Structure formats: structure tokens, C-alpha cells
């Protein structure tokens, strides 16, 4: 018999202890007073739970490796896609994967740190954030983190410690763990981190981009092709002119956004965009009215008609064309458009 850590151990029992990468392996270690074996004879490593149980029996004070808790819980693929602070670029809020080594948790959220500022726990390294793609599928994120990120994060957690640098308690990692964090950050910036993503046509879209293929600009109004959902009060196509009221626009925006979500697209500020179309048309019509007024003051032959576009088009030569009255785009500067309309009025003068 010999004494090992206060216990009588059989001489024929090996007493070799090894610690590799945080995993403890013990070869056959027996006590002659009835303790059970604390390792397999074939040297197969035990699980942390088995080792802990064996060590508690033997009084060896084994402490299993620390692990991170994945707290990510999202139901809808678009749950992480949100608008940024007003006036900020990009218009979509950045999405982050957060590895909080101090509190041992993993989360995901959207936040623009250029506006809100960097929190101290990130600044001091206790929490590490990795950029996720702007079309990440939130509903699949938890499973991906469990399979691809959690094993790495657990290893890094056991290579982390708090360190007083003379001013603050900062994070300190082993060289290998620090290199792995930097590698993950680089992969994320290159778009190679492998997070589950929606199709390229899904995710965040500006209302203008989402509607660009179904919107038709006509003289005096805008037409948005449908249909926009079965059983809706507006189910064929939307028509907007200078006199469209707010309640109609609100209803349109609600239907468009609902249809978009069904295709996993989050449309930004649809109601604001539609109001902008209405206001632009009002400004354009006002510019045409001013141009006609300037023409009719010196030309009694320019008769009044119901549609201001028709009033000008009535006198346009064939070479100018009726479509020249259509703005190049909704949102075109009203002054610039007024100048174009005035040019058409000048063409009328030359051909009356």
C-alpha cells in the first residue's frame, strides 16, 4: 500500500493523472477500502458528469469545465431584422451574435453601436460580438449556434479570466483562444461564418425597392399592380393621386406589408413611402398648374381642361409626346420638374 492524496492506494493500481486541454483522464486508480474505480481500465476518458461523481466519492475536488448557455429563442425568420435609428446608414440595424464570457451566455440582437456607443463589457473584452449577415434566418439561429458556435465558445470560456490591468478588470484569454476569436470575427466580416440565411430576395427591403417592379407612373397618378390579398377591400391594384387621403394610404401600407411578410420580406416605412408618392404628385401637379397659368395669361387660345396634363398635351407637337409629362421618377425635385414642364410650355408657344 501507499498513500496518495490521503488515500490508501493498491500498489498495482496506476496513479498517473493527466490534464490535456481541460479534460482530466485517470488511469486505473483504486483504493483498498472499497472506493470504486475512478477511471476505465482501457483509458477511455469519462464525461464531466462521471468524473465529477467519481471525484466526489474519492474526495479529489474535481471541478468540471464551464459551459456557455445558449439563450437564443426566435420563432420567425425575420425577428432580428429591424430598422436602424432615423437618419442612420445602413437603414437596417446591424445584427450581432454576443458571446458573454463573464455571464456565460450567448445571445443575438440588433444594435447600431455607432449611435448607442460601445458598452463597457464589450470594450473591456468580457463580451465578444460577431457580426451576422443582414438576412440571417432568426428561426434557425439557435440550432446553428448549438452545433457550430457553442463547442468553440465553451472551449474559449475555459481559456478566459478576469484580469486587473491597473485601471479596470479586463478580459484575458490564452493566445490560442484570442486567435480563434479574431479568426471568427474575420470570417464574419468576409461573410464566411456560415450562419443560416434567407434567400437574397428576402429579409430587409426598402419600400421603394420592394415596389419597383409593380409600380407604374402615369400622368397625374401612380398605379401599384396587384392583386394584394384575397378578400381585402382593396384587392386589385392601388391608385394614388394628389388627392388620395391618409386612411386609404394607411390601408394600402398595411396590406402590402402583410403580403411581404408572407414572403419573408420586411418592408421598411411603406406608409411613409406611399405618403411621399402622394405628396410628390401634389407638388408635380402644382408645378404644371403654375406652368399653365403662366401660359394662359398671355395666350387666350389655351383653353381650360379638366386634366392639367391634357391641357399641355393638347398643344404639344407630336415630336414632344404625351409621355414627356410623366416625371422621370417619383421623388424628382419639384423645382427641377417645374423647369421641365416650363420647357414643354415653351414648346407649346413655339407651335401654337
DSSP string covering 257-276: HHHHHHTTEEEESHHHHHHH
pLDDT of residue 325: 57
Name residue, grid cell 399653365.
Answer: 292
Residue 8 scores a pLDDT above 50: no
What sign results for the dihedral spanned by CA atoms 311, 316, 322, 324? negative
- Segment 279-298 shows an average pLDDT of 71
pLDDT (tens digit per residue) in 209-260: 888 878 877 767 788 876 565 444 445 678 888 889 999 999 889 888 888 8
Name residue, grid cell 421603394.
Answer: 208
pLDDT of residue 69: 96
Cβ neighbourhood burial of 82 (10 Å; 0-12, 13-18, 19+):
middle
Q: How many Å apart are CA 101 and CA 87, to the nearest integer?
A: 33
Q: How many Å apart are CA 43 and CA 50, to the nearest integer?
A: 14
Least-confidence region, from 112-116, 206-210, 312-316: 312-316
Least-confidence region, from 155-159, 195-199, 212-216: 212-216
Task: Give 109's pLDDT tier (boundaries 50, 70, 90).
Answer: very high
Name residue, grid cell 392583386.
Answer: 227
C-alpha cell at 217: 407612373
Residue 139 is classified by DSSP as G
Q: Which residues contact 329 (CB under 8 A, 6 or more apart)?
A: 217
Q: Which residues contact 227 (CB under 8 A, 6 or more apart)?
A: 235, 236, 237
Residue 146 is classified by DSSP as I
Residue 17 scores a pLDDT above 60: no
pLDDT of residue 268: 81
3-class DSSP assignment, residue 96: strand
DSSP code string of 215-271:
EEEETTEEEE-----TT-SS-S-EEEETT--HHHHHHHHHHHHHHHHHTTEEEESHH
Q: How far is CA 210 from CA 7, 207, 274, 299, in A?
A: 74, 5, 12, 45
Name residue, grid cell 394628389.
Answer: 242
Q: Which residues contact 146 (CB under 8 A, 6 or more apart)?
A: 70
Selected residue with higher pLDDT from 198 and 332: 198
pTM (two decimals):
0.65
What is the length of the chain?
A: 352
Interior angle at CA 152, CA 114 and CA 18, nearest 5: 140
pLDDT of residue 25: 38
pLDDT of residue 278: 87
pLDDT of residue 84: 85
Amino acid at each position: 500500500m501507499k498513500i496518495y492524496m490521503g488515500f490508501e492506494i493498491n500498489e498495482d493500481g496506476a496513479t498517473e493523472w493527466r490534464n490535456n486541454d481541460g479534460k482530466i483522464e485517470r488511469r486505473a486508480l483504486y483504493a483498498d477500502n472499497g472506493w470504486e474505480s475512478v477511471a476505465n481500465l482501457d483509458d477511455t476518458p469519462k464525461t464531466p458528469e462521471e468524473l465529477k461523481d467519481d471525484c466526489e466519492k474519492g474526495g479529489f475536488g474535481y471541478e468540471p469545465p464551464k459551459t456557455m448557455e445558449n439563450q437564443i429563442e426566435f420563432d420567425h425568420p425575420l425577428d432580428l431584422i429591424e430598422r436602424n435609428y432615423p437618419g442612420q446608414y445602413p437603414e437596417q440595424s446591424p445584427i450581432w451574435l454576443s458571446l458573454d464570457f463573464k455571464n456565460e451566455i450567448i445571445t443575438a440582437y440588433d444594435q447600431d453601436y455607432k449611435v448607442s456607443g460601445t458598452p463597457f463589457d464589450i470594450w473591456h473584452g468580457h463580451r465578444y460580438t460577431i457580426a451576422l449577415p443582414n438576412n440571417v434566418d432568426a428561426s434557425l439561429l439557435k440550432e446553428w449556434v448549438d452545433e457550430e458556435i457553442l463547442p468553440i465558445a465553451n472551449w474559449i470560456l475555459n481559456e478566459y479570466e478576469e484580469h486587473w490591468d491597473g485601471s479596470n478588470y479586463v478580459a484575458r484569454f490564452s493566445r490560442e483562444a484570442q486567435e480563434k476569436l479574431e479568426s471568427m470575427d474575420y470570417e464574419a466580416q468576409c461573410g464566411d461564418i456560415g450562419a443560416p440565411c434567407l434567400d437574397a430576395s428576402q429579409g430587409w427591403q426598402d419600400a421603394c425597392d420592394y415596389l419597383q417592379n409593380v409600380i407604374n407612373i402615369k400622368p397625374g397618378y401612380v398605379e401599384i399592380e396587384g392583386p394584394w390579398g384575397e378578400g381585402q377591400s382593396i384587392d386589385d391594384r392601388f391608385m394614388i393621386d394628389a388627392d388620395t387621403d391618409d386612411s386609404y394610404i394607411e390601408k394600402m401600407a398595411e396590406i402590402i406589408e402583410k403580403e411581404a411578410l408572407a414572403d419573408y420580406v420586411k418592408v421598411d416605412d411603406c406608409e411613409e413611402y406611399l405618403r411621399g408618392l402622394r405628396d410628390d404628385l401634389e407638388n408635380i401637379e402644382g408645378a404644371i398648374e403654375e406652368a399653365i397659368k403662366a401660359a394662359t395669361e398671355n395666350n387666350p387660345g389655351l383653353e381650360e381642361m379638366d386634366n392639367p396634363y391634357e391641357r399641355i398635351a393638347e398643344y404639344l407637337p407630336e415630336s414632344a409626346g404625351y409621355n414627356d409629362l410623366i416625371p422621370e421618377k417619383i421623388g424628382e425635385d419639384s423645382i427641377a420638374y417645374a423647369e421641365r414642364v416650363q420647357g414643354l410650355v415653351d414648346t407649346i408657344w413655339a407651335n401654337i
